[in-house]
Each structure stands twice: as C-alpha cells, then as structure tokens.
Amino acid sequence: MDRGSWVVEQEELWAHSRFGVIRASTLEQLGVSQTTTYQQCQPGGRWLHLLPGIVLLARSQPTVRQRIEAALLHARHDALVTGFEAARLYGLRTPPDVGFIHLLLPHNYKVLSSGFAVVERTKSFPTPWMRDGVPLAPPERAVLDGVRRVRNRNTVRSILIEAAHKKLADPFELRRELDTGTKRGTALPRRVLNEIDFGVRSVAEADALQVWRGTGLPSPHCNVPLFSATGEFIGMPDFWCDEVAFAWEIDSYQYHSGRDEYANTLSRNARYMASGVVVLQTSPARLRDDPDAVVAEIRAGYRVASDRPRPPVQMRAAGVA
C-alpha cells in the first residue's frame, strides 16, 4: 500500500471510529486484517493498542476523551462513566487525575477491569446523564464513587466542597446516596459532609474548624452575616462567637494579596474595629504548621472579647457545630 492510498484509508477508518478509537473487530469488518492491525500496533506502526481488542488510529498518547471512549468500548452493555472523570465532565476542577476511567456496569454482566478501564458491577445501576455525548452516572453518584476511593481528607474536602458550592451535588442528596449505596469508603465523606453542613466553604476553613475544636471554647458559627444595631452590614466572618462578639478570619495570601482583595480586607477590618468586634486573623499555613500556637491565640482573643462589654452586633443566621 503506497502512502497516498494509506492516507485515504486512514481517513475512512477514522470516520468509523469514536475520536480515533475503534475495535479491532470493526477494523476487520472494514477489510483490515488481524495481521495488519497487529503490525500497525507494534513499535514503528501507525496505531496504538489501548485495551484488549481496542485500537487508537494514531501513535500519540491518547487524550482523556479517547481513553473514555476506549473504556466504554471495553465495557460495552450500556456502561456509564463515574468517578472523577465524570465529575470533571460535570465541570468540577478539583478532582485529581487518578490515571483510570471508572465505569459502572449492571451486576449481571461479567466484564472485568483491564488496563486503565476499572469496571464496577452494581445492583443499583443509575439512569445515565449525557454530557458531550458521554453517558455519565448522576452527579452525586459520580462524585461519591470518586471520593470513596480516596484516603486523603483534604482531597475529599476540596471535591465535596466544590460540588456543593457549584450546586452540582446537594449535601442532602449526597447523604442519601451514601445511605443507599455501598458502605465501602464512606466514613471520610460522611465526616466531610458534617463540616459542609456546619457551613465551611473551603479546605482551610475545615482545617480551622478542627483547630477550634481543640480550644475547649464554645462552638462558633460559620460564615454568618453581621450587622450593626442600625442595620449596616459589618462582615461575614469565617468563624463567629456570638456570645462575646469575637470573629476569626482565615485569610490566605492567595485570596487577599491582590490590590482589590487587600483593600476589601482593610475595609472589613475597619468595620470590625468601628463596631467593637474583636477579630483574629490566621493564615491557612499556620493551621497546619503551628496549630498549638493558633489555639493559644484563639483563646487569648476570646478572653479579650470576654473582658469588654459586648457591642450591639447582630447575627442574622446561625449554624452551630
């Protein structure tokens, strides 16, 4: 076969593929012998072997979409993509690249995992959601299928907090999915959902909540709006002790170093001071690197707030740990 005829045939084969991914059996139906397919997947060939009986019609490393298509071809039987690849297709940015495509398959099928295609057979097979032509598990199922395989608490926190913040996955629905699905790997997501229910909006706030619980002080409120006696907005502290009007802010360099962010922080602190609120500022790094010192600072701030008359600051909403 000369170069010109090969290019024409390659284009025809690509038209029968999914983003360049195709079964070897389909190639044979199109007139490409098993021997030719084998040879083209060897070093120096034009194609790449992805999974048993599945070929990429190129020699480059497969894209995420090509890996998804190959995994779906491998599983067959109306399989769904779940886990972190599904979560990314729903728009989440925090899920890590775990190096595999997680698939759900009805329990009665006997397809096994192979290579980067991880097949999980389930009796609670969900109705698919379609995104960009890919059948996905529903958002709550996809997110939980991903995090229940993770043991890093902050990774689980960042994913579940982002999913809740973007309203992709409602915490109530996540809990219901945890209660009805497999119990394997659900203890950590349950603890993180408790933090989200309390009101934390970031991994740093979740770390801060753990530090606060070591102070022995009354449980704070989280992210509640404060107003003066005449109704002017004061601020929305990360943590708030209403009984003594003590605010604790977790101020990271990342989110407060820009000109506008820095000006907003100064303005916020000025409103706290004018209203008589005692405020403590802590960086996320110190929560990890020196939690004992932070505990001492929180206790000291609380004592200062307790030793002066409480100012007439009003809290409009509350959630107590």
The CA distance from 298 to 147, in Å, is 32
pLDDT class of 8 with cuts at 50, 70, 90: low
* pLDDT score for 213: 94
The residues near 288 (Cβ < 8 Å, ≥ 6 apart) are 207
Higher pLDDT, 268 or 9: 268
Give the mean model confidence (pLDDT) for residues 170-178: 91
Helices (H) and strands (E) in the chain, counts: 14, 15
Residue 32: how many other CB atoms lie within 10 Å = 18
Q: Mind listing the pLDDT tens digit for each residue in 234-243?
A: 999 999 999 9
Q: Which CATH number fits domain 205-315: 1.20.1330, 3.40.960, 2.60.120, 3.40.50?
A: 3.40.960
* Domain residue spans of the chain: 9-62, 76-198, 205-315
Q: Which residue has the higher pLDDT, 166 or 4?
A: 166
Residue 82 has pLDDT above 70, yes or no: yes
Q: What is the DSSP string of 272-311?
A: HHHHT-EEEEE-HHHHHH-HHHHHHHHHHHHHHHHTSPPP
Integer angstrom CA distances of residue 248 from 16, 69, 212, 238? 60, 48, 10, 6
pLDDT number for residue 318: 44
pLDDT of residue 317: 61
Q: Which burial class, exposed, middle or buried, applies to 293 when counting CB atoms under 10 A from its CB (0-12, 13-18, 19+)?
A: exposed
253 against 70, higher pLDDT: 70
The mean pLDDT value for 176-196 works out to 89
What integer pLDDT is reported at residue 256 of this predicted model? 44
Mean pLDDT of the chain: 91
- In this structure, are residues 52 and 74 in contact, taking their beta carbons and an 8 Å threshold? yes
Tell which residue, 251, 243, 195, has the closest CA to residue 217.
Answer: 243
Q: What's the CA gap between 12 and 29, in Å, rounded? A: 13
Confidence class of residue 68 from pLDDT cuts 50, 70 and 90? Answer: very high
Residue 5's pLDDT is 52
pTM above 0.75, yes or no: yes
Q: How does 91-105 read in b/e, with b if 16+ C-beta sit within 10 Å?
A: ebebbeeeebbbbbb
Residue 254: C-alpha distances to residues 155, 201, 284 (Å)? 18, 15, 10
pLDDT digits (tens, 9 = 90+) for 251-309: 876 554 456 777 888 899 999 999 999 999 999 999 999 999 999 999 999 999 999 99
Higher-confidence residue of 319 and 151: namely: 151
DSSP string, 28-62: HHTT--HHHHHHHTSTTSS-EEEETTEEESSSSPP
Question: Please, which pLDDT band fits residue 321 given cuts at 50, 70 and 90?
Answer: very low
Asked whether residue 10 carries a pLDDT value surpassing 70, the answer given is yes
CA distance 162 to 65: 23
Instruction: Give the helix, strand, coil percentages of the chain, each rounded to 5.
Output: 45, 15, 40
Per-residue pLDDT, 6 = 54
pLDDT confidence of 7, banded at 50, 70, 90? low
Environment class of residue 149 by beta-carbon count within 10 Å: exposed (0-12), middle (13-18) or buried (19+)?
Answer: middle
What is the reported pLDDT for 253? Answer: 60
Report how far residue 270's alpha carbon sits from residue 115's, in angstroms, rounded to the nearest whole number.
58
Nearest residue to 209 via CA among 295, 269, 297, 315: 295
